[in-house]
Amino acid sequence: MKNIQRINESWDVTLSDFSPGMLGKLKKCLENQTSFQFEIINAQMIPFSANSFDVVIANHMLYHVPNLEKVLLEVRRILRSDGVFFATTMGLRNMLELRKLVNEFDSSIEFPLGTASKIFGLENGEAKLKPYFENIEIRYYEDSLKIPEVEPLVNYILTFTGIGNVVEVIKGEKLEQFKNFVQSRMDEDGYINISKSAGIFIAR
């Protein structure tokens, strides 16, 4: 909401998600705003006519879709000839220290962080976009995290359910062992530094 004043009142903005729950939360946050329409949309079958949007934004989501090619065809279809497509994503080295931390504790853990970038990431995004767009620019977002507390870091790691096996391995007695392990690493500098690799593709 901190950037809401940057939305021009003349704009017609459609906010979409495949999840009704996610869209419902968003709608509640913007319930007093009049510039927005809300639609539950499958990005592989966008229910809008051709050449109907000036801008399409895919914010850290292209690596989730079952068929990326279908999505990009749909984006290209609904964009006007002078339209712009913005797609944010991560790189293969995103949060690399976090992956190393987990595997140093137990090398049998399959921690899925980073796998999404192999589908659509900073390293291969341009090649994925080229068949659909003539002009592609990439801008990198330099950032990192310094985490001084064990509990939030461990809780984040345990959100990876259904992919990998981190939740199956780090539980019960092993969960306490992992917390102690993270604390010992944190004690070395007072925090754990985690670098981020993120950026945006601007395609025309």
Q: How many domains are there within the chain?
A: 1
At 138 the three-state DSSP class reads: strand
Alpha-carbon span 11 to 84, nearest angstrom: 15
Residue 163 forms part of a structural domain: yes
Residue 35 forms part of a structural domain: no
Q: Which of 106-115, 151-160, 180-189 has the lowest mean pLDDT?
A: 106-115
Higher per-residue confidence, 36 vs 115: 36
Residue 37 forms part of a structural domain: no
Full residue range of the structural domain in which residue 161 is found: 43-203
Q: Summarize pLDDT for 135-148 with one digit per residue, the tens.
A: 999 999 999 999 99
For tokens 């399409």, what's the residue? 56
pTM of the full predicted structure?
Answer: 0.87
Residue 53 forms part of a structural domain: yes
Q: In the predicted model, what is the mean pLDDT of the chain?
A: 93
Give the residue from 60, 143, 154 showing the smallest Cα distance to 95: 143
Residue 90 forms part of a structural domain: yes
Residue 160 forms part of a structural domain: yes
For tokens 């002009």, what's the residue? 135
Residue 17 forms part of a structural domain: no
Dihedral-angle region of residue 61 (phi above 0 means left; psi in -120 to 50 means alpha; beta otherwise): alpha
- What pLDDT band is residue 178 in, cutting at 50, 70 and 90? very high
Q: What letter would DSSP give residue 30?
A: T
Residue 30 forms part of a structural domain: no
Structure confidence at residue 51 (pLDDT) = 97
Structure confidence at residue 113 (pLDDT) = 76
Percentage of the chain beyond pLDDT 90 is 76
Alpha-carbon span 112 to 182, nearest angstrom: 19
For tokens 């959100």, what's the residue? 159
Q: Which two tokens stand for residue 27?
A: 């709608």
CATH label of the domain that carries residue 50: 3.40.50.150
- What pLDDT band is residue 46 in, cutting at 50, 70 and 90? very high
